[in-house]
Structure 1
Amino acid sequence: MRIGIVADTHMPRAAKQLPQALRDGLAGVDLILHAGDFVTFDVVEALQQIAPLHGVYGNNDGPDMQARFPASQLLTLKGFHIGLVHGHLGKKKSTPERAIEAFVTGLGTADQTTGDGDKPAVKPDVIIFGHSHIPYQEEHHGILLFNPGSPTDKRRQPQFSYGIMELGDTIKLQHIFYPDKH
């Protein structure tokens, strides 16, 4: 299974349409995961024309987007548990730490997932998040953390980016970088 991973599109402020490099790179994926800050439903519709879409809302998504998408969700795909969250909820922690805490009770104790409160009882294999616009890939206590960066609003990053995840016998994650958003 091949999955496109996108976050922080911030459209139409950051771009009027999805960049051609993103559309070309997502062609043929089985699913798209968006980790929040769509901003408008035009992004949702454009991505759904490429492949089925799962998403979460971010801090720049208004009440209409919050009514359509949850703050976080745990998907099971090809036997793997995939957490999806924007990463903006919480205080005084890094974005990766907030992403972990959306799914795991007690930062750094991923093997102690309890399902208390809003946290699922299943330990995610991967947590996908956005918010920082910084491409990120690390393993933390057996959980892969992945931020695709932004395809339209790179901020201080050298290039625009998104991610591809391949699910087979293992999980393969990679960033795809490109120089301009046209």
Structure 2
Amino acid sequence: MRLLLTSDTHLPKRAKRLPEALLGELAAADVVFHAGDWVDTATLDLLLSRSRRLVAVYGNNDGPELRSRLPEIAYAELDGLRFGVIHETGPARGREERCAARFPELDVLVFGHSHIPWDTTAPNGLRLLNPGSPTDRRRQPHCTYMTATLDSGRLTEVRLHRLPPRR
């Protein structure tokens, strides 16, 4: 099963549209995760129309319309692996322990907010993934998103994709 992870798209504030590379991944993805800060409903509608399955939440920059359509925390069980999606997890320091204590039932937590790619595993085995942002790199060298493969209940081939600079 092919997974696509993204967050913090901030359209149309940070970019006019999603990058072509990310849009191209939609066709190959069995499940798309979006960890909030959409800003516009058009991006949500686009991903809903082009995704086989979307697991998504709202972020701190999302207004009432997005909040009425999306949860603060989303859950999905895929091939026996338990996923959670949330926008914000707090400061980087202590993140693994804090998230492991808050989400002891999960195997993978997808999050956003910082625009900083993150891939770590908590002492209890919880995998924490932040795909960064495909449209707003902030202090990072590149805009990013992630893909992964889910095979026989194992998350494999987790890959961070760096996008070329926008013109």
Same fold at TM > 0.5 = yes
* Deviation of the 1:49 alpha carbon: 3.0
Corresponding residue of 1:174:
159
C-alpha contact (below 8 Å) 2:142/2:165 kept by paired residues? yes
What residue in structure 1 maps to residue 126 of structure 2?
143
* Counterpart Cα distance in 2 of 1:100 and 1:65: 30
Matches within 5 A, 1:1-182: 1-51=1-51, 52-87=53-88, 93-95=90-92, 101=98, 104-105=101-102, 113=104, 123-141=105-123, 142-169=125-152, 170-172=154-156, 173-181=158-166
User: Residue in 2 aligned with 1:119?
Assistant: none
For 1:53, the aligned partner's letter is: L
- 1:35-92: CA deviation from partner (whole Å, max 9, x where unpaired): 000011111122123213121110000111111111112211111000100016xxxx
Distance 1:161 1:177 in 2: 5
Alpha-carbon offset, residue 98 of structure 1: 6.1
Taking the aligned partners of 2:5 and 2:94, their CA distance within structure 1 comes to 19
Q: Deviation of residue 103 (structure 1)?
A: 6.7
Cα gap change, 1:11 to 1:180, in 2 (>3 Å)? same
What are the Cα deviations for residues 18-49 of structure 1, in whole angstroms up to 9, with x where unaligned? Answer: 11121123321112110000011111122123
The TM-score with structure 1 as length reference comes to 0.81
**Structure 2 unaligned spans of 5+:** none
Provide the C-alpha distance between the structure 1 equivalents of 2:100 and 2:74, rounded to a whole number of angstroms.
9
Q: State the one-letter code of the partner of 1:178.
A: L
C-alpha root-mean-square deviation of aligned residues, in Å?
2.1
Instruction: Mark the CA change 1:34 to 1:145 in structure 2 (over 3 Å): closer, same or farther.
Output: same
- What do the CA deviations read for 1:96-132 (whole angstroms, capped 9, x no partner)? 8568746734xxxx7xx4xxxxxxxxx2111100000
SS in 2 for 1:104: helix
Change (3 A) 1:144 1:96: farther
Note the residue ranges of structure 1 that are not aligned, 5 or more in a row.
114-122
| Other structure's SS at 1:162 match | strand
Q: CA deviation at 1:161?
A: 0.6
| SS class of match (2:55) | strand
Could you tell me how far apart the structure 2 residues matched to 1:154 and 1:69 are?
24
Code of the aligned partner of 2:17: Q
Identity over aligned residues, as a percent? 38
